Amino acid sequence: MNKISIDNSKALPFLPAGAMEGMQTAVEAAHETLMSGSGKGCDFLGWLRLPSSTENRFLSEIQENAMELSRIAEVLVVVGIGGSYLGARAVTEALQHPFSQLQKKRDHPVILYAGNNLSEDYHAELLDVLSECSWAMVVISKSGTTTEPAVAFRLLKEQLEKQYGREEARKRIVAITDAFHGALRQMAEKEGYLTFVIPDDVGGRFSVLTPVGLFPVAFAGFDIHDLLDGARDMQEICLRTPDFTKNPAAVYAATRNLLYQAGRKTEIMVTWQPHLVFLSEWWKQLYGESEGKEGKGIFPASVSFTTDLHSLGQYIQEGTPNHFETVLNVKRPQRVLQIPPDPVDGDGLNYIAGRRLSEVNSNAQLGTLLAHVEGGVPNIRINMPAVNEFHLGQLIYFYEYACAVSGYVLGVNPFDQPGVEAYKRNMFALLGKPGYEQQGKKLRGELPGQKG
pLDDT digits (tens, 9 = 90+) for 288-318: 999 999 999 999 999 999 998 899 999 999 9
For 185, the 3-state DSSP assignment is helix
With 0-12 / 13-18 / 19 or more C-beta atoms within 10 angstroms meaning exposed / middle / buried, residue 432 is exposed
Identify residue 447 by its one-letter amino acid code.
L
Could you count the other beta carbons within 10 Å of the beta carbon of residue 182?
A: 18
With 0-12 / 13-18 / 19 or more C-beta atoms within 10 angstroms meaning exposed / middle / buried, residue 441 is exposed
* Residue 452, pLDDT score: 40
> Cα(37)–Cα(40) distance, rounded to whole angstroms?
9
How distant, in Å, are the alpha carbons of 107, 209, 412 from that of 204?
Answer: 30, 11, 18
Q: Helices 211-219 and 224-240, interaxial angle, to 10°? A: 140
For 78, the 3-state DSSP assignment is strand
> Cα(419)–Cα(74) distance, rounded to whole angstroms?
38
265 close to 322: Cβ distance less than 8 angstroms = yes
* Residue 285, pLDDT score: 96
Residues facing residue 341 across a β-bridge: none
Tally: H helices and E strands in the chain: 17, 10
Query: Distance from CA of residue 19 to its chain's centroid?
Result: 30
> Is 50-225 in the same CATH topology as 5-39+227-410?
yes
Considering the candidates 424, 437, 441, 442, report the single residue annotated as catalytic. 424
Q: What is the DSSP track for 241-264? A: ---TTT-HHHHHHHHHHHHHHTT-
* Residue 450, pLDDT score: 59
Half-sphere exposure of 314 toward its Cβ, with a 13 Å CA cutoff? 2
> Cα(419)–Cα(292) distance, rounded to whole angstroms?
9
Whether 372 sits among the annotated catalytic residues: the reply is: no
Could you count the other beta carbons within 10 Å of the beta carbon of residue 263?
A: 9
Whether 323 sits among the annotated catalytic residues: the reply is: no
Ranges of the chain whose pLDDT falls below 70: 1, 106, 419-421, 430-431, 440-441, 443, 449-452
- Residues in the chain, overall count: 452
- Each domain of the chain, given as residue ranges in start order, spans 5-39+227-410, 50-225
Whether 310 sits among the annotated catalytic residues: the reply is: yes
4 close to 395: Cβ distance less than 8 angstroms = yes
Could you count the other beta carbons within 10 Å of the beta carbon of residue 22?
A: 13
Could you count the other beta carbons within 10 Å of the beta carbon of residue 347?
A: 7
86 close to 278: Cβ distance less than 8 angstroms = yes
Q: Specify the CATH class of 50-225 in words.
A: alpha beta
> Cα(303)–Cα(417) distance, rounded to whole angstroms?
25
Considering the candidates 104, 105, 190, 310, report the single residue annotated as catalytic. 310
- Residue 364's contacts (CB-CB under 8 Å, 6 or more residues apart) are 272, 305, 306, 309
Identify residue 293 by its one-letter amino acid code.
K
429 close to 421: Cβ distance less than 8 angstroms = no
What pLDDT, in 10s, does the model give residues 111-150? Answer: 999 999 999 999 999 999 999 999 999 999 998 888 899 9
419 close to 292: Cβ distance less than 8 angstroms = yes
Considering the candidates 93, 148, 281, 289, report the single residue annotated as catalytic. 289
Which contacts of 20-23 are long-range, i.e. CB under 8 A and separated by 24 or more positions? Answer: 20/244, 20/254, 20/255, 20/258, 23/254, 23/257, 23/258, 23/409
E strands, 283-322, in order: 299-304
For 356, the 3-state DSSP assignment is strand
With 0-12 / 13-18 / 19 or more C-beta atoms within 10 angstroms meaning exposed / middle / buried, residue 176 is buried
Helix (H) or strand (E) holding 146: none
> Cα(184)–Cα(176) distance, rounded to whole angstroms?
9
* Residue 420, pLDDT score: 66
Superfamily of the domain at 5-39+227-410: Glucose-6-phosphate isomerase like protein; domain 1 (3.40.50.10490)
